[in-house]
Amino acid sequence: MSDAPASTGHADPDRQPIWSRPERGSRGPAPAHSRDAIVAAAIALADAEGLAAVSMRAVAAALGTGAGSLYRYLTSRDDLLDLMTDRAVGELRPYPQVEGDWLETMVLLGRRQLALFGTHPWLLDVIHRPSGIGPEGLAWFDNCIRVLEPVRCPVAAKFEAIAMMTGVVSLFARRESAAGAFSFAGLDLAAHPHLVAAFSQPSGPAPRANLVERTLRSLLSGLLITESTEVG
Amino acid sequence: MSDAPASTGHADPDRQPIWSRPERGSRGPAPAHSRDAIVAAAIALADAEGLAAVSMRAVAAALGTGAGSLYRYLTSRDDLLDLMTDRAVGELRPYPQVEGDWLETMVLLGRRQLALFGTHPWLLDVIHRPSGIGPEGLAWFDNCIRVLEPVRCPVAAKFEAIAMMTGVVSLFARRESAAGAFSFAGLDLAAHPHLVAAFSQPSGPAPRANLVERTLRSLLSGLLITESTEVG
DNA sequence: TGTAAACTGCGAACGTCGTTTGCAGTTATT
DNA sequence: AATAACTGCAAACGACGTTCGCAGTTTACA
């Protein structure tokens, strides 16, 4: 035992973000696992049983080890969630070539995002945490900025528009995964005349497709085009 | 002890929603607390220290009792969250009178929602759970349908539009409460030329106000007006 | 080559959480 | 008076994220 050990081998409060931390040092035996294997196991669990099933114990069990062992590779569960998110965002590659209108390209990117939320529904529970962006997220962001290059407006507006696009896509994704979940059980529906009147009205045509596209188009053009004409 | 007790006094798996459950039975001593007092204490805690601070133990301590005692009034923490949400939604009253354009009234309702998210930021963490709507939520919904009465489109489209409005407002609210939180720490920014080019560009005018209003206007008119002309 | 430092895995524990349980006491019904 | 339905509460349960200590392994350097 040493009097003043430089490191206990465990987490200290202020560490660099995981993106710049090396996977392992230069000494000691080869690790039995890898960040990638852990993240893959966690994503498989989340895809199959939801984010709540991604406990340190469950992920560790999927790799045949104990929960505490994972902390040789990660500093916290949040780290794991960040890694999962960035890896999923990486599935947005390859980015489509820019051809024709930038708006159409952005809408295409939005549809890609929507599809990603479909294959990894747990992303909806994870993206709202305040957390540093990862390298794949940064690359996606860079790509969006590239697509928006011909648009003449402040950078801040482009940032806002990209964030809002992601947000709106997440709203649509949530609607699809929830699928009209909310019920009126136990409530006095009759006390709300406008609601019952609306329900008794002929339902009209079914909600059309391409709603996401149209929404994104009007949102992005509203945020980016009419931008330069008015200054508050 | 009875052989076949009709009720243990505790939660059974399939219960009616809390909205239709009476606060107390007709026998036994008067309860020391009330649903309202519990919900008020929980909201005070959430307003002050965030939703994570709303643990059963903390709420109980604020009322001078133990965690287990709360289960005489609620069946679960989710119940408490539902009650908190509905009570907060009740603060949207009184609803503004409908005067003039329905679109302007809806935008006004959206601004009210945004303000509510400002006074109760924890609502952002709570609204995404799949959960039954409460009486105040139902009343707010009814009011929106009333405002949208002059709009001639299927009811489902109105429902979608209201949900999307709430969602977009929540996105704006989240942006305001997060305040540009995401950092590029530990990432190789230089490897993304479009980003650095965008940053080196003159920043232009600051993002204007009334962005929420303009977004809501284009969103709602896009979802409700151009609706009837095209059917997918 | 020997030794110390830096690493490895792992089992056991800590504190917190939501929730359940058992029990003693209180009130309304019959 | 007796019974059934309620009340509050302390203690416990199981699961969670995380920490700790220890024994063993590999590398760097004298």
Task: Read off the pLDDT band of B3 (50, 70, 90).
Answer: very low
> What is the residue type of A149?
E
Q: Which letter, b or e, does each residue of B52-67 get, where b requires 16 or more Cβ atoms within 10 Å of its Cβ?
A: eebebebbbebbeeee
| Residue A126 belongs to some domain of the structure | yes
Check if residue B37 sits with its Cβ under 7 angstroms from strand C: no
pLDDT value, residue B229: 44
Spatial distance between the Cα atoms of A82 and A77, rounded to a whole number of angstroms = 9
| CATH number of the structural domain spanning residue B49 | 1.10.10.60
Query: How many domains does chain A divide into?
Result: 2
pLDDT for residue B193 = 92
Instruction: Give dist(CA A211, CA B213) in Å, integer.
Output: 21
Of B96, B85, B173, give the one whose Cα is nearest residue B137.
Answer: B85
For residue B112, tell me if it sits in a domain: yes
- Is B71 in the same domain as B97? no
When pLDDT is cut at 50, 70 and 90, the band that residue B169 belongs to is very high
Do B118 and B29 lie in one domain? The reply is no
Tokens for A97, please give them.
């070539």
Q: Is A103 on the interface with B (CB under 8 A)?
A: no
The angle, 0 to 180 degrees and rounded to 10, between the axes of the packed helices B211-224 and A211-224 is: 150
Q: Which residue has the tokens 């709300």?
A: A192
Tell me the two tokens of residue B90: 């009740």
Which pLDDT tens digit goes with each residue over B79-115? 999 999 999 999 999 999 888 899 999 999 999 999 9
Q: Let me know if residue B212 belongs to a domain.
A: yes
Q: Which has the minimum average pLDDT: A133-142, B34-43, B174-183, B195-204?
A: B174-183
E strand or H helix at B44: helix B35-49
Q: Is the CB of B32 under 7 A from strand D?
A: yes
What are the start-end ranges of the H helices in A63-134? 77-89, 102-119, 123-126
pLDDT of A206? 60
Q: How confident is the model at residue B184 (pLDDT cuts 50, 70, 90)?
A: confident
Chain D nucleotides reached by a protein CB under 7 Å: 4-12, 15-22, 24-28
Query: Does residue B134 fall inside a structural domain?
Result: yes
In chain B, what percentage of residues exceed pLDDT 90? 62
User: Residue B1: inside a domain, yes or no?
Assistant: no
Residue B125 lies in a domain: yes
Q: What is the mean pLDDT of residues B53-61?
A: 98
| Pairwise CA distance, residues A58 & A36, whole Å | 16
∠ CA B163-B167-B172, rounded to 5°: 150
B230: CB partners within 8 A, 6+ apart: A208
Residue nearest to nucleotide D22 (CA to C1'): A1
- pLDDT attached to residue A231: 39
123-162 in A: which are within 8 Å (CB) of B? 124-125, 128, 130-135, 138-139, 141-143, 145-146, 149, 153-158, 160
Q: Which amino acid is at A15?
A: R
Q: Which amino acid is at A79?
A: D
Torsion sign across C-alpha atoms A200, A206, A212, A218: negative
Identify the domain containing residue B122 by its residue range: 93-224
For residue A202, is it within any domain?
A: no
Question: Which of B36 and A27 is assigned the larger pLDDT?
Answer: B36
In this structure, the answer to whether residues B137 and B29 fall within a common structural domain is no
Q: Which of residues 45-104 of B touch strand C (CB under 7 A)?
A: 54-58, 67-68, 71, 75-78
Q: Are residues B173 and B220 in the same domain?
A: yes
Which residues of A in 9-68 have their CB below 7 Å from strand C's atoms? 9, 24-33, 65-68
Low-confidence ranges of chain A (pLDDT < 70): 1-14, 179-182, 203-209, 226-232
* Nucleotide whose C1' lies closest to the alpha carbon of residue A26: D27
- Please indicate, yes or no, whether residues B105 and B160 belong to a single structural domain of this protein: yes
The size of the A-B interface in CB pairs under 8 A is: 193
Q: How confident is the model at residue B120 (pLDDT cuts 50, 70, 90)?
A: very high
Are residue A46 and residue A159 in the same domain, yes or no? no
- Same-domain check for residues A66 and A106: no
* Residue A197 CB-density burial (10 A; 0-12 exposed, 13-18 middle, 19+ buried): middle
**Which residues in chain B have Cβ-Cβ distances shorter than 8 Å to A183?**
132-133
Residue B116: CATH number of its domain? 1.10.357.10
Residue A79 inside a domain? The answer is: no
Residue A130: how many other CB atoms lie within 10 Å: 11
- Which stretches within A127-231 are classed as H helix? 135-147, 155-178, 193-200, 211-224
Same structural domain for residues B131 and B163? Answer: yes
Query: Is the domain of B100 the same as that of B201?
Result: yes
| Statement to judge: residues B112 and B177 lie in one domain | yes
Who contacts B4 (Cβ-Cβ below 8 Å, separation ≥6)?
Answer: none
Residues B168 and B220 in one domain: yes
- B87 and B43 Cβ atoms separated by less than 8 Å: yes
Report the nearest residue to nucleotide C26, CA vs C1': B29
| pLDDT score recorded for residue B227 | 45
Nucleotide nearest A9, CA–C1', reads C7
Same domain assignment for residues A70 and A112? no
A77 CB neighbours strand C below 7 A: no
- Single out the residue in A74, A107, A127 at which a domain terminates: A74
Q: Report which DSSP code applies to A46.
A: H
Mean pLDDT estimate for chain B: 87
